[in-house]
Amino acid sequence: MDKKEEQLLIDLTSAKGVPGNEEEVRKVYKNYAQDFADAIFYDGLGSIIAKHGADGGPKIFISGHMDEVGFMVTKITDKGFLEFQTLGGWWGQVMLAQQVEIKTQEGKVIHGVIGSKPPHVLTPEVRNKPYDIKDMFIDIGATSDKEVKEWGIRPGDMVTPFIEYKRMNGSKFLLAKAWDNRIGTAVSLRVLENLANEGHPNVLFAGSDVQEEVGLRGARTSTHLVNPDIAFALDTGTAGDTPGMTPKEADSVLGEGPQILIFDASMIPHKKLLNFVINVAEELEIPFQYTVITGGGTDAGQMHLTRNGVPSVAITVPVRYLHSHTSIIHEDDYLNTVKLVTELVKRLDNDTVEKIRSYE
């Protein structure tokens, strides 16, 4: 991976963007996409879509999502601590003593840490149980609610995890916040760039949605706007290659290719389109992994239900430590996902799309 491509990953993961506050990520997306897009437009919620190709061919929609799991300030206490609401799925065990950043309406960034009562004052029964998220707070080093307000913080402000992008010890393992789902967003941008340079027999709509982590909301509105013939959700999935994981829980291995979802809680993929994806991957010897997500879904869960129904499949990058401050991907999985999605779109001409969408 060259420096330009890695810088895209750094820019995307460094951007702050919880559900409903995706402005920074949207700006990164637009700045990168504008060199390759014929037009850039938005749905009413803020999902961004870059179009490439002349009208007339089948419409192919590929999309990641911009938002990351994070928090929202809900209250300022008299002594200057912040109460907060989680945005997206969080496990309390991974939150305590973690650093965060609060972004004010004026754009000022305030540093903080998630705090709780110390274990020394807890009863044995409470100490041996996961700490309740509702009892946590954010400490920003303020001494009063007046001081907090002077710093510009107000209820509703965005709170994001604080962590710096790192290549792990010169390896192909990449650590950052928000791989879910800045890596799918990066795939969308890189496929747009590839196909703008190489050509494609269709109209490509490459985008990234808002508010996936709170109910796949942006996917509903963006897909309705595009009205595609075929849709691909580009997201992340659980890796199963860490100690203690069993194959029944997750069996994907970092470095062994993108995941092709054959089932999740939001969608059973379109069978013809699924077979098309698998056949192309096998033909080109692009490594991939089958995966099942029984307790979650992707934006394809809304894509496939739009209007009269859209054949859809989710292609995901395996990630360790999802929905935490620090997560890890493998460089090769990202590059192979870009390669696979690029080749899929290049082959979706009128005849192929008609065959996929035919029920005769």
Is residue 200 marked as binding?
Answer: no
Nearest CA to 211 among 64, 359, 3? 64
Is residue 351 marked as binding?
Answer: no
- Structure tokens belonging to residue 177: 């916040």
First-to-final CA distance of the chain: 44
Is residue 65 marked as binding?
Answer: yes
d(CA 119, CA 316): 39
The strands making up 59-65's β-sheet, listed across from edge to edge, are 39-42, 48-52, 203-209, 59-65, 230-238, 312-319, 259-264, 289-293
Judged on CB neighbours under 10 Å (0-12, 13-18, 19+), 12 is: buried
The strand pairing partners of 39, in sequence order, are 51
Q: Output the CA torsion sign for 331, 189, 212, 162.
A: positive
Is residue 332 marked as binding?
Answer: no
Is residue 180 marked as binding?
Answer: yes
Q: What are the counts of helices (DSSP H) followed by strands (DSSP E) for the chain?
A: 10, 17
* Residues with a known catalytic role: 212
Largest CA distance in the chain: 70
Q: Which residues are annotated as a binding site for Zn(2+)?
A: 65, 180, 213, 235, 323
